[in-house]
Amino acid sequence: KQEVTQIPAALSVPEGENLVLNCSFTDSAIYNLQWFRQDPGKGLTSLLLIQSSQREQTSGRLNASLDKSSGRSTLYIAASQPGDSATYLCAVGSGYALNFGKGTSLLVTP
Amino acid sequence: EADIYQTPRYLVIGTGKKITLECSQTMGHDKMYWYQQDPGMELHLIHYSYGVNSTEKGDLSSESTVSRIRTEHFPLTLESARPSHTSQYLCASSEEGQVSGYTFGSGTRLTVV
């Protein structure tokens, strides 16, 4: 069974810092990887989708990379803002559905 | 606007009641999913469907049942709610094939008292 681990579990940074969130997975036979944002008590908002054949995807201040052979992905957030405070979830597409990590809870302080 | 809708957003109900959580999508996606999420924990797949009249159980055992009579509609039913069913339930959909991403609804937060 695919296991997805996210490090760190929680992170607090001052506004303006660049930061990296890490995701690792145990089975490299994936078809895609998706990063989501979840605000408290809400659903999930898709941030970036990386196909297994791709190495990275970018959207605005966000950049996600994928190293399938080593089972790792990183989400890079540039020039963080208080509005970025949320939980960030990594989900790996393998088998019949997405497998999720527990998430990284991010707090960006003004 | 293409989207996925879940109702109700919040539900507090007594033990033993039958409940149905609604999920509808307007994107014409063939695949639909139900995930369960306890506070501070990861999402666990409880049901999925590849199309009309197709339903399968997910990785996490659940006493709930689902149906898929129409492409756009994927309701989840609990015949007799218990406090252990208290959780957040998230519905998602995706296109056919393995390359498309998932779109999630806003979730239903269920509390059984």
A63-88 tens-digit pLDDT: 999 999 999 999 999 999 999 999 99
Residue B98: predicted pLDDT: 66
Q: Taking a contact as any Cβ pair under 8 Å apart, which residues of chain A between 57 and 86 contact chain B?
A: none
A51 contacts in chain B (CB < 8 Å): 99
Q: Model confidence at B32, in pLDDT bands (50, 70, 90)?
A: very high
The rounded mean pLDDT for chain B is 93
Task: Compute CA distances A51 → A34, A56, A84, B37, B45, whole Å.
Answer: 9, 9, 24, 25, 21
Whether the pLDDT of residue B1 is over 70: the answer is no
Strands of the A72-77 sheet, one edge to the other: A4-7, A19-25, A72-77, A62-67, A56-59
pLDDT at A94: 87
In the block, residue with structure tokens 């293409």: B2
The alpha-carbon gap from A88 to the nearest alpha carbon of chain B, in Å, equals 11
- Measure CB to CB from residue B106 to each of A31, A43, A98 and give the nearest one: A43
**Cβ–Cβ contact B45 with A under 8 A:** yes
Residue whose entry in the numeric block shows the structure tokens 């989840």: B76
What residues contact residue B28 under an 8 Å CB cut-off, 6+ apart? B71, B72
Whole-number pLDDT of residue A24: 98
Chain A residues touching B45 at Cβ < 8 A = 97-98
Closest by Cβ to A100, choosing from B42, B98, B109: B42
Contact: A31, B42; criterion CB under 8 Å:
no
Residues of A in contact with B56 (CB under 8 A): 96
Please tell me which residue, B91 or A40, carries the higher pLDDT value.
B91
Higher local confidence (pLDDT), B99 or B47: B47
* 8 Å CB contact of B48 and A96: yes
Asked if A87 has any chain B CB less than 8 Å from its own CB, the reply is no
Q: Decide if pLDDT at A51 tops 90.
A: yes
Across the interface, which of B41, B56, B105 has its CB nearest the CB of A102? B41
| Cα separation, A11 vs B31, whole angstroms | 34
Other residues' Cβ atoms within 10 Å of the Cβ of residue A79: 11
Is residue B88 scored above 90 in pLDDT? yes
- Considering only CB atoms, A49 lies closest to which of B90, B101, B109, namely B101
pLDDT digits (tens, 9 = 90+) for A8-39: 999 999 999 999 999 999 999 999 999 999 99
